[in-house]
């Protein structure tokens, strides 16, 4: 009887331990999800300016983002596949888009610091702060 009880407790403890790992893994995935933006309204020109990225978790512990550029008026949303390694973040902006190129940077709890490298060879350094969307 003691052996059964000990075996039961070991199985229960192992299940809780493995389940706890899954919960911790889910926390790591959600750590980077959310909205990052520097978008704002310029009263003087009556323009919306900046960039906004909404990161979501997808299958297989991957991430995608809805990216929007605004240069006077907001552009169409672009879906980008995001690569995250440690605190490094990268994604490509599809060819054929006005802002085609790539983004690389670092992600912290409250911001993404990085740069867009456009196909026309222009480089734009940005800080996208985590928080509410410009559209909220």
pLDDT in tens, 37-84: 999 999 999 999 999 999 999 999 999 999 999 999 999 999 999 999
Residue 87 tokens, joined: 């605190």
Q: What phi-psi label fits residue 44: left (phi over 0), alpha (psi between -120 and 50 degrees) or beta?
A: alpha
Nearest Cα neighbor of 71 from 118, 132, 35, 130 is 118
pLDDT in tens, 8-25: 444 444 443 444 434 334
Residues 6+ apart with CB under 8 A from 94: 78, 80, 100
pLDDT band at 3 (very low <50, low <70, confident <90, very high): low
Backbone CA torsion sign across 70, 75, 76, 82: negative
């Amino acid at each position: 009887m003691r052996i059964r009880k000990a075996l039961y407790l070991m199985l229960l403890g192992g299940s809780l331990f493995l389940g706890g790992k899954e919960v911790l893994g889910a926390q790591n995935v959600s750590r980077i999800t959310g909205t990052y933006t520097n978008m704002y309204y310029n009263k003087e020109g009556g323009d919306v300016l900046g960039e906004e990225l909404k990161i979501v978790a997808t299958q297989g512990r991957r991430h995608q983002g809805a990216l929007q550029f605004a240069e006077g008026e907001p552009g169409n949303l672009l879906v980008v596949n995001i690569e995250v390694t440690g605190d490094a973040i990268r994604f490509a902006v599809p060819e054929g888009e006005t802002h085609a190129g790539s983004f690389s940077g670092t992600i912290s709890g409250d911001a993404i610091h990085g740069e867009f490298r456009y196909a026309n060879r222009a480089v734009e350094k940005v800080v996208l702060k985590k928080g509410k969307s410009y559209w909220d």
